[in-house]
Amino acid sequence: MAKRLFDLLVASVLLVLLAPAGLVVALCIKRDSPGPVFFRQERVGRHGRLFRIHKFRTMVAEPAAGGPLLTVGADPRITPLGYWLRRHRVDELPQLIDVIQGHMSLVGPRPEVPRYVALYPAALRERVLSVRPGITDPVSLAHADESERLARAEDPEREYVQVILPAKLQGAAAYAERATLWTDIGVLLRSLRVLLAP
C-alpha cells in the first residue's frame, strides 16, 4: 500500500512539473520526423495482464513493419532526436501515465513484450510478474549498454534470448523478493543521475 501511494504521489507531481518540458519534447518529435508523438506497444504487466505502454516515439513511424522487436546499436529506425531521448531515458517519461493508471510502478522489473515473456521459465515468471513492472529498476541500470552488446553479437536475437534475458530475469526475480520503499528510492536517485548526465 505504501509503495502504491508513493507511486501515485510522485508520478502526479512529476507529471505536473514536467508538463512544460514534455510539451517541448512533443513539438520536437513532430518537427523531427512525421508520425505520432507517442509510441504505444502491448506489454505484459503484473500477474500476466496485458497493457499498452506509453513512450515518446524515438523511431520512424510504424517501425515494427521494418525491423525486429529488439533495438540493436545504431538502429537505422531511430530518428535523430530519438538517439538523444533514448540516451537520457527521456522517452520513458510518459510512463508516468501508466503508473497513475496502475499498470506500472516507478520502480519494478521492466515490462517485456508477450513474445519474450512466453520464454520465461515457470518459476521465474511467477516471481517476476508478482509485482508491477516499473519505469526503472536495478537491472535496466546494470544493462544500460544492452543495445551496444547486441550490436556486437553475431546473432542479436539469440544473444538476447540465451544470454541477456536470463540474466535480467534473475535480477528481476531478486528485486521482486527483496525490494522495499527505501531501495526503490535509491534506484530512483541512481536513475535521476542518468537522466541528468551530459
Per the structure, the complete domain to which residue 128 belongs is given by 2-196
Measured in degrees and rounded to the nearest 5, phi and psi for residue 84 equal: -70, -45
CA pair distance 82, 79, nearest whole angstrom? 5
CA pair distance 40, 195, nearest whole angstrom? 21
Q: What is the pLDDT of residue 68?
A: 64
pTM of the model: 0.89
Identity (one letter) of the amino acid at 139? V
Q: Give the gyration radius of the chain's Cα atoms.
A: 16
Considering the chain, what percentage of its residues have pLDDT values greater than 70? 94
Q: Is the pLDDT of residue 64 over 70?
A: no
User: How many domains are contained in the chain?
Assistant: 1
Q: What is the pLDDT of residue 126?
A: 93
